Each structure stands twice: as C-alpha cells, then as structure tokens.
Amino acid sequence: MPISQQDFKKTIRQFDKIEERSGFWARARNLLLAGYETEAYVLLLATWNFAGFRYLVNDFDANKFQVAVKKLNPIFDGLKAQTLQTADLEDKALTEDIKLIYRKLKGLVKQTGASKMMALKNPGLFVMWDTKIRRMYHINNRAEPDDYIRFLKKMKQEFSHIKWTNKETPLAKAIDEYNYIKAASA
C-alpha cells in the first residue's frame, strides 16, 4: 500500500517530537558547510552512530580518516547537483560513483556510518539507514554497495509521489526520519 502524504507528514512530526538528537544533524551539517569536515563527521557519528562508532573510536586515526575523506570529495562534488528525485539510479556511472563512496566509507565507519556520512555530505541524494531500517526493508545486514543502490532505488520508488516543499530538510532526509520512526515501531 503506498505511503500517504498525510502519514508521511504525521510521521515526520513524530520524529521532531521524540528524537532529542535531531538538533545534532543541523549542527553537523553547519560544521561541514563551514569547512570543519572531520569535526562534522565525528559529531554525526558520535551522536547518530554511537553503537558502532564506540567500537571504532579506540583505533580511530583522524589523519587516515581525513585523507580518505579528501580522496572522496571530488566524487562527492560530481554528485552535488543530484537529488533522490532527479538521480537516474539506472545510470551505471552514477551508481558506480555511489558504490565507490559507500565502499570506502564502509571500510572506515561500517555500513550505517557510511550512509550517515554520505547523507551529511549530500542530504538531497543519500538516504541513511541503520540495522532496523535495513531489517524493515529486508536487506541483509552486511549491506554491500549493491544493497545500498537497491535501497536508494526502493526509496525513490516508494516516496516518488510525496510532495515535499520543506527547503531546510531535503526529501531524502525526511525519508530517513520517516523510516526511523516506522522501523522503531515495527
């Protein structure tokens, strides 16, 4: 059954009411836009991926992390005009770029952290996921790059009819908020 516009908006309002960490997203995004990329990602991962990040932080090498992210920035830059609504997810060159970014970031911060970093960098294109969301969409928790592409295609298909005009929160970010609430109550 298609997601109704009313249910989508109601669920997004629930997210704003119950999720106390929601303000950290905007703070991390502002840090990123101000040029504090590493700090933005660390803030995001420490608040929205703490279950996985706590295991990584003991061996976290900030320099290695910065170098890896800087190498990906030209690819991110090539995708900055893309949104979930406009992206041709059948375009092999586009999906290969997305898979490359995802694979490299997954190697640094695992699958959930990778999607969160990608969404922070381009919140109009990338939809975040976590274990519960993957489970809700019947995606193996290993979450390989092809799985992430299938997930993006599914999100585009499932939410393409939603009318979204909030300029502060891109549709891809709103989809994450919707999925977060629905997965938590599943």
State pLDDT tens for residues 133-179: 999 999 999 999 999 999 999 999 999 999 998 888 899 999 999 99
| Region label for 48, one of left (φ > 0), alpha (ψ between -120 and 50) or beta (otherwise) | alpha
Residue 69 within a domain:
yes
Residue 39 within a domain:
no
Q: Per-residue pLDDT for 44 more than 60?
A: yes
What local confidence, expressed as pLDDT, does residue 51 receive? 59
Radius of gyration (C-alpha) of the chain in whole angstroms: 16
Pick from 40, 47, 18: nearest CA to 177 = 18
Confidence category of residue 53, pLDDT binned at 50, 70, 90:
low
Q: What is the mean pLDDT of residues 61-81?
A: 92
Confidence category of residue 56, pLDDT binned at 50, 70, 90:
low
Which residue type sits at 144?
A: E
| Region label for 148, one of left (φ > 0), alpha (ψ between -120 and 50) or beta (otherwise) | alpha
What's the domain range around 83? 5-18+61-185
83 with 172: CB under 8 angstroms? yes
Residue 14 within a domain:
yes
Q: Per-residue pLDDT for 93 more than 90?
A: yes
d(CA 114, CA 129): 9
Q: Per-residue pLDDT for 55 more than 60?
A: no
Average pLDDT, the chain: 91
Residue 32 within a domain:
no
Q: Which helix (H) or strand (E) holds 101?
A: helix 92-121
Q: Per-residue pLDDT for 47 more than 60?
A: yes
Q: Per-residue pLDDT for 54 more than 70?
A: no
Q: What is the mean pLDDT of residues 21-50?
A: 87
What local confidence, expressed as pLDDT, does residue 16 receive? 80
Structural domain count, the chain: 1
Residue 141 within a domain:
yes
Q: Per-residue pLDDT for 50 more than 60?
A: no
Residue 38 within a domain:
no
**Comparing 55-64, 85-94, 114-123, 150-159, which segment has the lowest mean pLDDT?**
55-64
Residue 17's contacts (CB-CB under 8 Å, 6 or more residues apart) are none
What 8-state DSSP symbol labels residue 66? H
Residue 9 within a domain:
yes
Q: What is the mean pLDDT of residues 70-80?
A: 97
Residue 160 within a domain:
yes
Structure tokens at 29: 């995004």
Total-model pTM: 0.92
